[in-house]
Chain A
Amino acid sequence: AQSVAQPEDQVNVAEGNPLTVKCTYSVSGNPYLFWYVQYPNRGLQFLLKYITGDNLVKGSYGFEAEFNKSQTSFHLKKPSALVSDSALYFCAVRDMTGGFKTIFGAGTRLFVKA
């Protein structure tokens, strides 16, 4: 079965510093991986995805993620954090059987301090 794990409930970073939000995955077959962000009382918004190709994927709002097959990881990164990046971040994997459901990790709350 497909699954993702986000080992950190919360990440704290100072504005202007680089940030990393960790994600590891477990899949059978090729991984189709996603990152989403959720602001308070809002739906989830797509940030970026890895389907195939270059291991470094660039997405919205200056975020990027590095796919690492040997470590089964897909960490989200940003070179310089903004206070407005504070939100709940979800890593997710697509199950390519049946109805293509997306399975989400538990989420990591990012706090960026001014």
Chain B
Amino acid sequence: EPEVTQTPSHQVTQMGQEVILRCVPISNHLYFYWYRQILGQKVEFLVSFYNNEISEKSEIFDDQFSVERPDGSNFTLKIRSTKLEDSAMYFCASIGGAGTGELFFGEGSRLTVL
């Protein structure tokens, strides 16, 4: 079964450092997302990405965050200057061509900011 893969599984960083989280979505999917989950609680939408541009972003996704799909396969989330409150589990997800399809999630990247 096709799967979404994420790296790293866990990253520890110092406050103020830049972090890049990487994702390889399912190859024929067209819509890509990043979600955040703090301490096993609510799953919060960060950003959606389609046709090589952001289609929607939440209020959480401020100027410190950016996404790109540099090579047609990898999908990255960059946090420019991490804050303590950025500590969370970050999930990448994707859906296929139709907007009614289910989301396929990666296993997540745990970010710990010290």
- Number of A-B residue pairs at CB separation under 8 A: 67
Chain B residues with CB below 8 A from A96, complex form: 99
Q: How many residues of B contact A (CB 8 A)?
A: 27
Question: Is B45's CB under 8 angstroms from A103's CB?
Answer: yes
A111 to B22, CA, bound (A): 33
Bound: A46/B104 CA distance, A: 7
Given A32-B99, A98-B48, 4 new contacts (CB under 8 A)? A46-B102, A46-B104, A88-B40, A104-B42
A29 within 8 A of B: no
Complexed CA–CA distance, A44 and B104 (Å) = 8
Q: How many residues of A contact B (CB 8 A)?
A: 26
B48 touches A100 (CB 8 A): yes
Q: Which residues of A contact B103 (CB under 8 A)?
A: 34, 36, 44, 46, 102
A-B contact pairs, 23 of them (CB 8 A): A36-B103, A42-B108, A43-B105, A43-B107, A44-B43, A44-B91, A44-B93, A44-B103, A44-B105, A49-B100, A51-B100, A98-B48, A99-B31, A99-B48, A99-B50, A99-B55, A100-B31, A100-B95, A101-B48, A104-B43, A104-B44, A106-B42, A107-B42
